[in-house]
Structure 1
Amino acid sequence: MRRHRTAAGILLAVGALFTGGLVQAGAADAAPSAPSAPSAATHTASATAQHKARAFWTAERMRSATPLDLLLTEQAARSLRSPQAHGRPATVAPTPAASAAFPQAGGPWTGGGAVVATSGRVFFTFQGRTASCSGNAVTSQNASTVITAGHCVKYQGSWHTNWVFVPAYANGNAPYGQWTAAKTLTTPQWEAGEDINHDIGAAVVSPLNGKTLTSVVGAQGIQFNGGYNKPMYAFGFPAASPYDGTKLIHCSGNSSKDFLFSQDHSLGCNMTGGSSGGPWFTGFDEASGTGLQVSVNSFGYTFLPNRMFGPYFGDVAKALYDKAQAS
């Protein structure tokens, strides 16, 4: 699995655990709390900015984009050297953990089907550097909605720029084109305090050559408040070693609820940085490559290798989705 991210708040929670200060979690199947107003935080890209983004992402830039998680690792190291970096306490920013020594429940997706076209890489500029994540096209009223992770649209108070979605990305090639974001959105909880339980993002992409995204690549269904402890499939484009971002990678198995510090889903997987924002499906059919999206690749604990975590799609996620599909 990706040793994707370790949230800054997780380190604080670990400290609380050993001092007896961690509040006991609720019932095993308790869903995250209902959303607060507004339903989503939104950033709009001008037509000029979208044109710039489309021109910016050449094949070479896409190949050389660094997984966002690796950029955060570098930033964390700088933060440790300079405790007040970014105006924050001396806590480690989200980072990927070391690559797994051997794969666990993961590998290239060779089954074909709809997921090959609906899944893709996300490219953007973060603090002046090119970076990447993953995303997925879902059914929506506007036929133009992509679901990803919150940190793949906004991080440390700044919205990412030059944001594009490249479905079915293949080693610098964009067989279905580059779809620029007219709007990017995230949950109020991620916007306000980067709450790892609500690390969910969305993008509304502009038409390309007069056509909407899902009329070209298709779309996956999406489900909310579906519960925990189910068989799931996770997909993404990990680009940190041992992966290189050129292939769609998947993991599958029985999911569980995080028993440590979050309300997230948990799944055995060795995907690495760059897979953030890739979709998790329940009821996935291998023959057709279709399922219901219920989460995204979000983070991993450095002390718990070969396991990744994704936020629960409850009322907060539904409010975000509703805002995006109506845009």
Structure 2
Amino acid sequence: MAALGMTVAMPAQAAQRGAVHELSGTVADADFWTPENMRAATPLDGPLQTAGGALDQPTAGSPSLVPPVGPSNPGSSWTGGGKVSRTSGRVFFLFHGARASCSANAVTSDNRSVVMTAGHCVKYQGSWHTDWVFVPGYRNGNAPYGKWTAKETLTTPQWEASEDLTYDVGAAVVNPLGGRRLTDVVGAQGIAFNQARLQRTYSFGYPAESPFDGTKLIYCSGTALVDPVISKDNVLRCDMTGGSSGGPWLVNFDPESGTGVQNSVNSFGYGFLPGYLLGPYFGSDAQALYQRAAAS
């Protein structure tokens, strides 16, 4: 448990540092996101529930996910409090001028300003999002710890070039607010790379499509498997819907304190395999992205 407040990382091996998008991060960006505008934001990742359509059906001879069936895990409201109720939050931004949302999480870093999310929560369909803010501890239009504007958003080179779901990882570096830095206010989860598979995992997010409404933090838990179909991502039995993308996957999680180590994010689901959520493996490319953000 000693690693919970620390960065746990193996040295990156010839990984590219990723693509960076500079943002103004003005007070006006935060002021735009009134409670009404936050409630009206549409989950961006509805299309990714079928992996953009490309993975709607398994290819001939493709293996089935193991286990192929099992009890439903619809996601439950997180009522345990603790650090995760502050480090997790919703992300709001404009996508082609439309109000949109995802989820994200604050992680430990030297600059005390790094937020991890999904790649499509910073750039999607060839376009970087604008007016990007992180609202930790969001609850039904309220921003109890403030609205933190991004000075830059980042993603992996693979997502930037071709929106490869295996590398659907994003990050943001947020500006100080009221003279304080993000993790000095809300705390931070640890972050780890190149970790062992098949670990007990908790997934958190703010799903905003039915039966959820985006007003509160939802979680699932279980053993994360490995996707044998196409992506080689981590797989968790979980029925969270659009809006949860970018929320953290935490291992070594302590429900009493709400602390853990992040090693993935909510990314997408196969249309032919409902009830399973996939998250990219945090390997050397994700580590290089994080290191670039932490050094900003």
Report the structure, 1 or 2, having the larger helix content. 1
Pick from 95, 102, 111 the counterpart of residue 80 of structure 2.
Answer: 111
Residue type at the aligned position of 2:126: G
1:308 is aligned to: 277
TM-superposed CA distance for 1:259, in Å, is: 1.1
Matched, 1:266 2:235: yes
Pick from 61, 67, 79 the counterpart of residue 43 of structure 2.
Answer: 67
Query: Per-residue displacement from partner, 1:23-52 (whole Å, max 9, x unpaired)?
Result: xxxxxxxxxx95543x11001112xx5233
User: SS state of the match for residue 69, structure 1?
Assistant: coil
Residue type at the aligned position of 1:155: Y
TM-superposed CA distance for 1:65, in Å, is: 0.4
Matched, 1:149 2:122: no
Query: Per-residue displacement from partner, 1:122-153 (whole Å, max 9, x unpaired)?
Result: 00000110000000000001000000000000
TM-superposed CA distance for 1:104, in Å, is: 1.3
Pick from 97, 114, 134 the counterpart of residue 165 of structure 1.
Answer: 134
Matched, 1:201 2:170: yes
Residue type at the aligned position of 1:213: L
C-alpha distance in structure 2 between counterparts of 1:34 and 1:310, whole Å: 21
C-alpha distance in structure 1 between counterparts of 2:96 and 2:39, whole Å: 19
Alpha carbons 1:237, 1:246 under 8 Å: kept = yes
Q: 5+ unaligned residues in a row in structure 1: which ranges?
A: 1-32, 77-90, 96-101
Matched, 1:186 2:155: yes
Alpha carbons 1:69, 1:94 under 8 Å: kept = no
Matched, 1:40 2:40: no
1:244 is aligned to: 213
Alpha carbons 2:15, 2:288 under 8 Å: kept = no
User: SS state of the match for residue 166, structure 2?
Assistant: helix
Matched, 1:284 2:260: no
Query: Per-residue displacement from partner, 1:229-250 (whole Å, max 9, x unpaired)?
Result: 1110000000000000001000
Pick from 178, 181, 188 the counterpart of residue 219 of structure 1.
Answer: 188
TM-superposed CA distance for 1:55, in Å, is: 1.8
Q: Which has the larger radius of gyration?
A: 1
C-alpha distance in structure 1 between counterparts of 2:54 and 2:122, whole Å: 16
Alpha carbons 1:105, 1:252 under 8 Å: kept = no
Q: Which runs of 4+ in 1 moved over 3 A?
A: 33-37, 91-95
Q: How does 1:93-104 map to 2 (within 5 A)?
A: 104=73
Alpha carbons 1:104, 1:268 under 8 Å: kept = yes
C-alpha distance in structure 2 between counterparts of 1:306 and 1:139, whole Å: 31
Aligned length: 269
User: SS state of the match for residue 130, structure 1?
Assistant: strand
Residue type at the aligned position of 2:279: G
TM-superposed CA distance for 1:184, in Å, is: 0.2
2:106 is aligned to: 137
Q: 5+ unaligned residues in a row in structure 2: which ranges?
A: 1-11, 57-70
TM-score normalised by length of structure 2 = 0.87
Residue type at the aligned position of 1:129: A
Alpha carbons 1:143, 1:215 under 8 Å: kept = yes
Pick from 89, 92, 98 the counterpart of residue 53 of structure 2.
Answer: 92
User: SS state of the match for residue 45, structure 2?
Assistant: helix
